[in-house]
Amino acid sequence: MEGPCNKTEEYLQKKFILNDEFLVSLFEEYHKCIGVQANSFYYNTPNIRISPMIGAGLNFQSNYGYDDATGINYTLPNTPMFLVGVRIMEVRKLSERLSLDIQVGFSNSSQKLMAFFENNTRSFTANQEYNLQSINIPITVNYNIFHRKNSAVFIGLGGNYRINKMNTNQAIIDNFEKATGYSFLENVEISSISGGNLSATAKIGSMVKIAGKSVA
């Protein structure tokens, strides 16, 4: 842009935001000043992009406990979990490598916990069968450590809030006294789970763009 219609110096003395909209308006003003008809063709990038996502995997929930009767520590095994949610990415004024995942997951499993403890005077054999239902709400911030036009490898860090519901079907402790040879049976639960808990979460994954769509 040259001549009296060049407003570059004038704009440099003002406060402005250098973006696509500003550049388009600048060129439109210049062409109007010199009397040349012009049409604008430019891609207006949205401020934010939200994509739906689904997933499946294994859920590990630790449930460390201690019971005076048994004196045994225990944990829960892995269970399948299915997730649905959204990914927020390509946020204006932030790095294209960053994204945010908000998901909701559900897991349902039947567990059987068996425990045994023995000393010089007695022994305990414990058995508990229960059903565990959990709703997980993981939220992670992701960063693309390897970024190309049609592919990316990312890591994510965040937190997961879990809502638990536990139904015990059977809970029996067999207390055997060696001196007398008698066994005493009790209906006592040796495992319990809090109704809700917050934990840290991490993940790693890849994303491949196929025919305009992204698959993670």
Query: Is the pLDDT assigned to residue 128 strictly greater than 70?
Result: yes
CA distance 197 to 135: 11
Q: Which residues contact 205 (CB under 8 A, 6 or more apart)?
A: 153, 154, 156, 216
Q: Which residues contact 27 (CB under 8 A, 6 or more apart)?
A: 1, 38, 40
For the cut 90, the answer to whether the pLDDT of residue 100 exceeds it is: yes
First vs last C-alpha separation in the chain: 45
Predicted confidence at residue 59, as pLDDT, reads 64
User: What's the chain's length in residues?
Assistant: 216
3-state secondary structure of 181: coil
Mean per-residue pLDDT over the chain, rounded: 78
Q: What is the pLDDT of residues 145-175, one digit of tens each?
A: 987 777 789 999 999 998 988 888 888 888 8
pLDDT digits (tens, 9 = 90+) for 5-16: 777 767 666 766
174-205 per-position pLDDT tens digit: 888 888 888 888 888 877 778 888 989 888 88
Q: Is the pLDDT of residue 98 over 80?
A: yes
- Asked if the model's pLDDT at residue 140 lies above 90, the reply is yes
- Work out the average pLDDT over 83-94: 83
User: What pTM value is reported for the model?
Assistant: 0.60
Is 90:48 a contact under the CB 8 Å cutoff? yes
User: Measuring CA to CA, which residue among 75, 78, 77, 70 is closest to residue 115?
Assistant: 70
